[in-house]
Each structure stands twice: as C-alpha cells, then as structure tokens.
Structure 1
Amino acid sequence: MANSRAARLTPVVDMAEKAERTAAQRLGHFQGQVRLSETKLAELDRYREDYQAQWHTYGSKGVSGQWLMNYQRFLNQLETAVAQQKQSLAWHQKNLDNARVTWQQAYARVEGLRKLVQRYIDEARQLEDKREQKLLDELSQRLPRQSSF
C-alpha cells in the first residue's frame, strides 16, 4: 500500500525535479549576466580612469579650448555609460536574487517530496516485515511440537 503511494508520487517528483533543474539553469544564466555586467562596469571604470589620466598628461602641457570641450563632452558620455552600466548591474543582480529564491524553493520542494517518498517506502518495508513475521509466527505455532523423551 505504501509502495503504491510512493509509486503514485513518482510523476510529481519527476515534475518537481524538472522544475528544479530549470530553476538552476536560470540561476546559472543570471549569474553569468551579473559577471558579464560586472566585467563591463570594471572596463568602463578603467577606461574612464585612463581617460582622466590624459588630463594630467596633456593638461600640464597646455591644451586648447576645443580639446578641453571635447575632453569634457567625452568624459560626460563616459560618466553616463558608467551610470547606465551600474543600473544594468543592479537589474541583473535583482534577477539573480529572484532566481536564487525560486531555485531554493524548487530545491526544497524536491527534497521534501523525496523524503516523503522515502518515508512511504520505509513504511511499506516495515509493513511487509511485520506481515512476514506474523506469517512465520503462525507457521511456527502450527508445526507439531516434538517432544524429547
């Protein structure tokens, strides 16, 4: 009886495992997106620092007004790109956090179902053991007793 309960749960466990695998894949995807976004932000930061270093190099020698305007315009564009990349990173991090919660819930569901199935299997084994013991007890009582004279 309990074994049949465990067997009936097999499709449910399979579906839960599939959902957990899908959630794990999504989690991995979003981890990759966060890493990629972090890398792009770091590159933009390095590029901005290098570009700002040009001011120290060329500024000390004297620059034209046109050069300074172009420098400021491009530096503003870099600042905008950095701010946008930070927003993108925050968005990807939020997706990652949500995916992590979803995966944790799916994992907990699978583990709970596996424990339930194992409990049903254990109960079936115990019932079968009791049934066998009862049968053996009945058989031993029916056997003629041999007296020792």
Structure 2
Amino acid sequence: MSRSRAARLAPVVEMAERDEREAARLLGRCQGLLSQAEVKLGELERYRADYQQQWIDEGRRGVSGQWLMNYQRFLSQLESAIGQQAQSVKWHRDNLDKARAAWQQRHARLEGLRKLVQRYLDEARAVEDKREQKLLDELVQRLPGRNP
C-alpha cells in the first residue's frame, strides 16, 4: 500500500523538481543582473572620482568660467546617472531577494515531498519485512522435529 502511495506521488515530485530548477535558474539570472548593475555603478563612481581629480588638477592651473560651467553641468549629469544606477542596483537586489525566497519555498516543498515519499517507502519496506518474517517463522514451525 505505501509503495503505491509513493509511486502515485512520483509525478508530483517531478513537477516540484521542475519548479525548483526553474526557480534556481531565475535566481541565477537575478544574481547575474545584480552583479552587472553593481559593476556599472562602480564604473560610474570611479569615472566620477577621476573627473573630480581632473577638476583638482585643472583648478591648480586656473580654469575659465566656461570650463567651470561645463564641469558642473557634466558632474550634475554624472550624479544623476549614478543615482539612477544606484536605484537599478536596489531594484535588482530586491528582485534577487524575491527570487531567493521563491527558490527557498520551492526547495522546501520538494524536500518535504521527498521525505514523504521516503516515509512511504520505509513503511512499505517495514510491512514487507514483517510479512517475510512471518513467513519464515511459519516455515520454521513446519520443519520436521520442530513440532512440540
């Protein structure tokens, strides 16, 4: 009986395995996208630091009003891009957290199903072992010289 219950659960376990694998793939994609967004943010921040260093170097030599206005305009655009990229990183991090939670949920469900199937198989094995032991005991009782 328990073995057939375990067999009936096989399609459910297979479906849970597919769901878990898909969730793991999505989790991997989200991790990759977050990494890309973080790299881009780092590049923008390094570019800003280089640009600010250029300001310091140029400032020592003296700058024109036009150069200063262009510098401030470009720095403002760069700050805006950094802010947008930081928002992108946050968005990707939130998506990663959601994907991780979904994977954990599917993984836990799969593990629960596997444990249930194993319990059914263990129960079936115990019933079968008990039946075999009963048969062996009956055979031993029927052996010649064993009758009281």
CA shift, 1:139, in A, is: 2.1
**SS at structure 1 position matched to 2:145:** coil
Could you say if the C-alpha distance between residues 14 and 146 of structure 1 is closer, same or farther in structure 2, counting changes exceeding 3 Å? closer
User: Aligned ranges for residues 1-149 of structure 1 at < 5 Å?
Assistant: 1-145=1-145
Could you say if the C-alpha distance between residues 4 and 69 of structure 1 is closer, same or farther in structure 2, counting changes exceeding 3 Å? same
CA shift, 1:21, in A, is: 0.3
- Residues 29-74 of structure 1 deviation map (CA, whole Å, 9 limit, x = unaligned): 0000111011000000000000011111111111111111110000
Number of matched pairs = 147
Identical aligned residues as a percent: 67
Check conservation: 2:140, 2:146, Cα contact below 8 A.
no
Residue ranges of structure 1 left out of the alignment (5+ in a row): none
Could you say if the C-alpha distance between residues 117 and 99 of structure 1 is closer, same or farther in structure 2, counting changes exceeding 3 Å? same
Residue ranges of structure 2 left out of the alignment (5+ in a row): none
CA shift, 1:137, in A, is: 1.4
- Residues 59-107 of structure 1 deviation map (CA, whole Å, 9 limit, x = unaligned): 1111111111110000000000000000000000000000000001111
Could you say if the C-alpha distance between residues 47 and 5 of structure 1 is closer, same or farther in structure 2, counting changes exceeding 3 Å? same
Query: TM-score scaled to structure 2, two decimals?
Result: 0.96
Distance 1:34 1:81 in 2: 17
Distance 2:69 2:146 in 1: 116
Give the residue type in structure 1 aligned to 2:81. A
**SS at structure 2 position matched to 1:145:** coil
CA shift, 1:138, in A, is: 1.7
Distance 1:140 1:146 in 2: 7
Distance 2:81 2:64 in 1: 26
| Residues 57-66 or 19-28, more deviating | 57-66
